[in-house]
Amino acid sequence: MKQTRTERVAWTPESYGIYTQNRIEKACAENRPTLRAFATWLVEVRGLTSGTITCRLSSACTFVDEVTARAEARCTEAFQSLTPDGIEDFFVRYGKDHGVSARRNMCSAMRLFLKFAASAGWVDLELVNAVPSLPGYRLSGLPRGLSDEEFKTLLSSPWEGGRCPLRDRAIVYLLATYGVRCAQVSALEFMDVDWHEGMIVFAAHKGGKAVHHVLTEAVAESLADYLRNERPTSDCDDVFLRQNRPHLKLSPMAISGLVKSRMVRCGLPPRRPHSLRHTFATRLLRAGQGVKAIADLLGHRSLTAVAIYAKVDYARLFEVAVDWPEVVA
């Protein structure tokens, strides 16, 4: 029986397992057995979900590879010699190139791996307390979108250099034009693109709602170019596929990686694809769109989800600002 759209969009435990194993295979060869044992421990001892395991394992691979590389020793010996200062030094280096979300994920992964190492007798459980805590406050930061110049560079620089330039161009155009998430681009199917009516639909994500957009000429051209000249032959309904066999649906993590690679080739700092979502929202705000309209276009059900963009509407903030009272002698 043919699956429904909702069933096809959801990631399965099997697909998460594939991506987890692929990430382990990218780690240092000597560390792979330990990381596989860690993945099993996360399932059998901690009882984590497949999605959480994939996220934590990805960060743990980075942590373990660097610890062993700096100690120039095998995994067991490297962690036996690890000190609180070593944990702090690693996290400071990691934090220089990663945002708040990535740092939080790394903290969680480090704590879990150190608990795993303690259960194996490599480290003292007290070492877990050396992992820093990151307090968070809602709406405490500003959305980090691309500047107009960076945005222009991203879209107008030559597309040669990547392994699948036509696919990369179509994906970046979708993210930049509509402000959608990587998971929504990953879930895009042929039935979501109405070529005759000139419309495109992105599935609901994170409890939000589906969003309908006009199919712009640039997006339509990039999609058609990819489908005609680069997409592998497949009966799969998903638009974006892996180039290697088996031609599975391109994962959100793969989309995130190709966007970062594109930024590096353009001479830009490697930013998360979510920065394009922030860019989309702030450009709408500058164009005079209200918060409700922006929430609808981003697929949010609640206005509180886009409240942070009010902090970058400087023109309107100046309108409500009051003069600072003069000091009375």
120 neighbors 113 (Cβ within 8 angstroms): no
Query: What are the strands, taking DSSP E only, across 118-260?
Result: 193-194, 199-202, 211-214
Could you confirm whether 314 is annotated as catalytic? no
Q: Return the bridge partners of 160, or none.
A: 162
Alpha carbon distance 104, 36 (integer Å): 22
What is the SS3 assignment for 321?
coil
Q: Which residue in the list 56, 181, 231, 249 is annotated as catalytic?
A: 181
Which of 42, 29, 2, 27 has its CA nearest to residue 16? 42
DSSP per residue, 83-145: -HHHHHHHHHHHHHTS-HHHHHHHHHHHHHHHHHHHHTTSS-GGGGGGSPP----TT-S----
Could you confirm whether 274 is annotated as catalytic? yes
State the residue for tokens 């792979």. 32
Alpha carbon distance 262, 167 (integer Å): 12
Which of 53, 70, 51, 58 has its CA nearest to residue 26? 58
Q: Which residue in the list 56, 169, 277, 278 is annotated as catalytic?
A: 277
Q: Which residue in the list 93, 206, 286, 316 is annotated as catalytic?
A: 206
Could you confirm whether 173 is annotated as catalytic? no
Q: Which residue in the list 167, 169, 231, 274 is annotated as catalytic?
A: 274
Could you confirm whether 19 is annotated as catalytic? no
Question: Phi/psi of residue 92, each to 5°?
Answer: -65, -45
> Annotated catalytic sites, by residue?
181, 206, 274, 277, 300, 309
